[in-house]
Amino acid sequence: MASVATSLQRFQLDAYFNAGALSLLAYDFTLTFDDEVELIWKTRWNLTKVLWFLTRYPAFIDSTLSIYHQVGTNVAIRTCGMLYSISGWMFLWGIWIAEIILIIRTWAIWGRNHYIGGTLFTLLCGLWIVSAVYLNQFLHSFTFVLAKNISPILTGCVITSSGDQLWISFVILMIFESIILTLTAIKGIQQFRRSSSPLVTSLYRDGMIFYVYLFGISVINVSVLLAAPAEYSILITS
């Protein structure tokens, strides 16, 4: 009975994390909405604008689903698996789009060098294949129990076991992002030797900060997959 109580505590903590993440997302949206309208919505359409929309707004759907499969009433086991799968693939979709944006940015600062762009895109295609294979295995490794079967006052689905295969994808992602960082740093050093304008400084500083952010998320994901209990697996795909 103690293990059941511990599992439910972890399940509740998952719900708190997801609710907090959705709240932060909504807060960020309210803070930046005016700027988004002026700087993005009103600009002409191009590839980067499309990619921005594809990575910005699906996050609200993903976060909402992550909360629903923890608080939804009358949820069937099959529905649990479907909701987790949708969240997982949407999570991977967001990573893919973010990496494409990073590639375009790196390609641009390298003067649209075809060799740089082609190499990075080829590596990204390999990352897509590997991450899709391991995510599929990871999602199929989940086993669930309905929370209401433990207590009639509980809602949602509780993960009872999951695999850890996905850590390999995050390690490969970290390697890929390290390549992006190295290319950015090399070009940044070259640019600083010729010019140290505020625009150049901001461009490379923001790129480094974004890399550290993504790398840190990957480290946390690997740690959760290899060391944390199965109940926390939901945090990887939400």
Least confident of 32-46, 82-96, 137-151: 137-151
**For 33-63, how does the pLDDT look when each residue is reduced to its tens digit (9 = 90+)?**
999 999 898 889 999 899 989 988 888 888 8
Count the helices and strands in the chain (H runs, E runs).
8, 2
Q: Is pLDDT at 1 greater than 50 in this prediction?
A: no
Across the range 122-147, mean pLDDT stands at 88
Range of the domain at 105: 2-237
Q: State pTM to two decimals.
A: 0.82
Please tell me the predicted confidence (pLDDT) of residue 237: 58
The pLDDT value given to residue 233: 62
Residue 159 is given by DSSP the state E
Measure the CA angle with vertex 167, ends 117 and 205; round to 5°.
Answer: 45
pLDDT above 90: percentage of residues in the chain: 15
pLDDT at 2 (0 to 100): 42
What does the block give as tokens for 54? 């594809």
Query: How many domains are there within the chain?
Result: 1
Give residue 120's pLDDT. 94
What average pLDDT does this structure show over 94-104? 89
Beta bridge partners of 135: none
Other beta carbons within 10 Å of 90: 18
Look at residues 157, 166, 113 and name the one whose alpha carbon lies nearest to residue 139. Answer: 166
Average per-residue pLDDT in the chain? 82
With CA atoms as reference, report the closest residue to 111 among 206, 182, 191. Answer: 191
Supply the CATH number for residue 14's domain.
1.20.1070
Indicate the pLDDT class of residue 21, thresholds 50, 70 and 90: confident
